[in-house]
Amino acid sequence: MEHSGGEKWSIIHGDTLQVIKSFQPKTFDALITDPPYASGGWKPSEKNRTTSQKYSSMDPENALPDFDGDNRDQRSWTRWMAEWLSDARKACKPGAPVCLFIDWRQYPSITDALQWAGWIWRGVVVWDKLTSRPQKGRFRQQSEYIVWGSNGPMPISRPVGCLPGVYRYANPQNRIHVTEKPLPLMREIIKICVPGGRILDPFCGAGTTVLASVMEGYEAVGIEVTDAYYKLGVDRVRFALEAQEKSEDTAGQ
């Protein structure tokens, strides 16, 4: 498989359903990812729009690349989620945490898929995005969620502290991915993993989880099926880590 990487990280170019089956059992200490939501509309015609049309207000000339896997209806999306989550659980160590970003529309389905795949569902974390488009007479849709659980029992003796249940970070200003998550947010979320552990991100997009993992002293493996984002993610992680290394060298002189 085509892949790129560096010390403590790699990104594989391929379909998660196929790639994830190639991992040895009990390889990863955590699974943290932002899968395609297949959301953004009530009618099939709305769901089948491109991802830039559904999730971005940019004009077509400046729109970011679209990503694959976001046009499934709810039943097929739930089945697809359950299938790859089942294979991913086999690749994770006993007690490994799983964290899945999701919006309110697909919240019920993702909890079904998680449990169908054999994970223990343990709760939900709130990501407060701070801003949203106001709608008169309605509550703001300014939050997304992280459904989380574990691969079987999760001992309290793990060397991980007590983490918040709500995180407040604004969306990135200069995105390279349509649904990119803030790097500071991901640097906090990954701390659910045991120190120095290996983290799997089956839908790594812009590489934010991979980058955050290495910055915090973890190892990371990402998978990305969309050609444009595989290249963008690899370049972003490599450039950011090289810049960090140069900065540390300069500070140490």
* CATH classification at residue 149: 3.40.50.150
Domain count, the chain: 1
Q: What is the pLDDT of residue 4?
A: 94
Tokens 């223990």 correspond to 120
Q: What is the pTM of this model?
A: 0.90
Residues 6+ apart with CB under 8 A from 247: none
Q: Distance (Å, rounded) from C-alpha 143 to C-alpha 127?
A: 5
Domain extent for 218 = 3-252
Task: Say what the alpha-carbon torsion angle 27, 190, 38, 127 is, to the nearest 10 degrees.
Answer: 160
Block means of pLDDT (10 residues each) for the chain, 253 residues, are 94 96 97 88 63 60 68 88 98 98 95 98 97 88 96 96 97 83 97 98 96 98 95 95 86 71
Q: Distance (Å, rounded) from C-alpha 184 to C-alpha 29?
A: 21
Q: Is 134 helix (H, G, I), strand (E, B) or coil?
A: coil
Longest distance between any two alpha carbons in the chain, whole Å: 59
In Å, how far are 169, 172, 175 from 142, measured between CA atoms? 11, 14, 18
Q: What is the pLDDT of residue 51?
A: 65
Q: Is 12 helix (H, G, I), strand (E, B) or coil?
A: strand
Q: What is the pLDDT of residue 55?
A: 63
